[in-house]
Amino acid sequence: MMNVYMYDTTLRDGSQGEGISFSVGDKIRIAHELNKMGIHYIEGGWPGSNPKDINFFKEISSHNLSNSKIAAFGSTKRANVKAENDANLIKLVEAQTPVVTLFGKSWTLHVLQILRTSLEENINMIYDSIQFIKSNGRQAFYDAEHFFDGYKDDPKYTMETLKAAESAGADCIILCDTNGGSMPGEIQQIVTDVKKAVKTPIGIHCHNDSGIAVANSLIAVECGAEQVQGTINGFGERSGNTNLISVIPSLKLKYHIDTVTDDQLKTLCELSQFVDDLANRRHDNGAPYVGLSAFAHKGGMHVNAVQKNPVSFEHINPEQVGNERRILVSELSGRSNIFLKAKELDINLEQNTPEVKDILQSLKKLEHEGYEFEAAEGSFEVLLRKNLQKNKNFFDLLGFRVIVEKKDNKLTSEATIKLNVKGKEVYTVAEGDGPVNAMDKALRKALEKFYPSLSNVKLIDFKVRVIEGSSGTGAKVRVLIQSHCEGKYWGTIGVSENIIEACWKALSDSVEYKLLKENC
């Protein structure tokens, strides 16, 4: 079985993506997570380009990475300058990394129009730079930038650049689809040609401008590439780079190439989420392998089939990558959805009972009114238990009023709530930053003396969406609330033409859910 090495460039190429920025501390933390995953090479940055990368290399040198080697990245020497006098190469050596990755020009267009030097001098730049890195005892990788475009334009010259890198002692030559425009068939043919012409191990570095960077990288592996360069979650310039989060499990589970261990693969979801969190980006629910929806089943026929045999609609076991199967409930649901969701919530329910039919009808009616329960599983559990008459009636609403006042250029909100709690009428008033905050405070004020645990519940997210935009200000709105308590999160929903009433429904469900879980 061939070995395929993972080369991560999240900290360099990935951080060049729009809106992506990592501090030195962030980069150190990511490096440790990549090491935990078993990534073979971690490209830390370009020490000749900015102080942050120089500081990273100084800091990371004192950390023990058991699985990964750190690589410094930079360009070949400048034209007509000796390698030993080139400031960029000197800084690469001073970074003290075991691996140095140099990029050079493969495309005559770039040599003549961008570098504005001769084709012969470009060959010398590649050879001298790699030889200099090797003479300083480093492992040298050569990134053949714009290789595929160069090959399609002038294959003879492009191959001469690779021969220069090989004769200088490069440990691996990486073929780069820098513009991301090459098609799978082109990658297949060109990588096959290169493998016949050079003896040095080759790698692949694809950008995702055509949406097929992962596919192109896998095809290159099929043709003999031994190193795949990419980033976590596909971060990178323009449309991003090859997404290693998709490549790693594909190689491991589809090609049976042990790039990582079984245990390391189980941390894949955790790694993907971790890097998104540090980049301050919302995790992609639809991401292959690791997305929240990657193994979520909604259609009734699908759920019925998965119940009988998960292989019917799942290409792998979700636990292999640290994910989990989810059964969604919606107007598309069948009885299997309700049955499996109840089982997931530890509610004893027989599949072919009248209760299941009643719950399904209630669900479809509510969804027709504008409810969606995929992100509001707290509200669904409250609905489920109410229909089964298994929930305790914790409080009844007798009425509420919300006032918003602007005085002396300051907005204040006041909420008044009247409840019946355990046979007692409770009347409370509270002020807040906004109407929802005021209602939340008034509700807690009324209930905490009866249910003290509610003081630990925090409202952490609040979203409003207009459902029927054509109705203008009279349209229905959907309010989604996410709550948190002692490490647990739950979502609740409310729908109404009146935004305050929709907020009340979502808020009261949130409180009912918390009390319900305590009294199950």
User: For 403-446, how does the pLDDT look when each residue is reduced to its tens digit (9 = 90+)?
Assistant: 999 888 888 899 999 999 999 999 999 999 888 899 999 999 99
Q: Tell me what pLDDT residue 300 has.
A: 67
Handedness of CA 391, 394, 396, 399 (dihedral sign): negative
Q: Tell me what pLDDT residue 475 has.
A: 76
Instruction: Residue count of the chain, please give it.
Output: 520
Per DSSP, helices labelled H in 12-118 are 24-37, 51-60, 87-94, 108-109
**pLDDT tens per residue, range 205-247:** 999 999 999 999 999 999 999 999 999 999 999 999 999 999 9
Question: What is the DSSP code (8-state) at residue 184?
Answer: H
Which residues, in sequence order, are CB contacts of 447 under 8 Å at separation 6+? 394, 395, 419, 421, 426, 454, 511
Indicate which CATH number applies to the domain containing 24: 3.20.20.70
Q: Tell me what pLDDT residue 460 has.
A: 84
| pLDDT surpasses 70 at 465 | yes
Residue 73, in any domain of the structure? yes
Owning domain of residue 326: 296-369
Of 450, 465, 496, which residue sits at a domain end? Answer: 450
Of 351, 369, 387, which residue sits at a domain end? Answer: 369
**pLDDT tens per residue, range 339-360:** 667 777 777 776 667 777 777 7
In 3D space, the residue among 167, 166, 89, 164 whose CA is nearest the CA of residue 121 turns out to be 164
Q: Tell me what pLDDT residue 337 has.
A: 65
How far is C-alpha 260 from the chain's CA centre?
Answer: 19
How far is C-alpha 441 from the chain's CA centre?
Answer: 35
Within a 10 A sphere around the Cβ of 500, how many other Cβ atoms? Answer: 18
Q: Tell me what pLDDT residue 351 has.
A: 64
Residue 407, in any domain of the structure? yes
Residues 52 and 197 in one domain: yes
Averaged pLDDT, 126-133: 97
**pLDDT tens per residue, range 8-45:** 999 999 999 998 999 999 999 999 999 999 999 999 99
| pLDDT surpasses 70 at 473 | no
Of 417, 450, 483, which residue sits at a domain end? Answer: 450
In which order are the strands placed within the sheet that holds 477-485?
458-466, 477-485, 488-496
Indicate which CATH number applies to the domain containing 407: 3.30.160.740
Helix, strand, coil share (%) of the chain residues, nearest 5: 45, 20, 35
Averaged pLDDT, 466-479: 69
Cβ atoms 221, 228 nearer than 8 A: yes
Within a 10 A sphere around the Cβ of 471, how many other Cβ atoms? Answer: 11
**HEC letters along 420-482:** EECCEEEEEEEEECCHHHHHHHHHHHHHCCCCHHHHHCEEEEEEEEECCHHHHHHCCEEEEEE
Report percent pLDDT > 90 for the chain.
Answer: 65
CA–CA–CA angle 202, 142, 14 (5° rounding) = 95
Q: Tell me what pLDDT residue 391 has.
A: 61
Tell me how far apart the alpha carbons of residues 306 and 327 are, in angstroms, rounded to a whole number: 10
Tell me how far apart the alpha carbons of residues 387 and 329 are, in angstroms, rounded to a whole number: 15
Tell me how far apart the alpha carbons of residues 505 and 507 are, in angstroms, rounded to a whole number: 6
Residues 153 and 227 in one domain: yes
For the chain, give the mean pLDDT.
90
| pLDDT surpasses 90 at 520 | no
Quickly state the pLDDT bin for 154 (edges 50, 70, 90): very high
Quickly state the pLDDT bin for 485 (edges 50, 70, 90): confident
Report percent pLDDT > 70 for the chain.
Answer: 93
- pTM: predicted TM-score of the whole model, two decimal places: 0.73
Residues 75 and 27 in one domain: yes
How many independent structural domains does the chain possess? Answer: 3
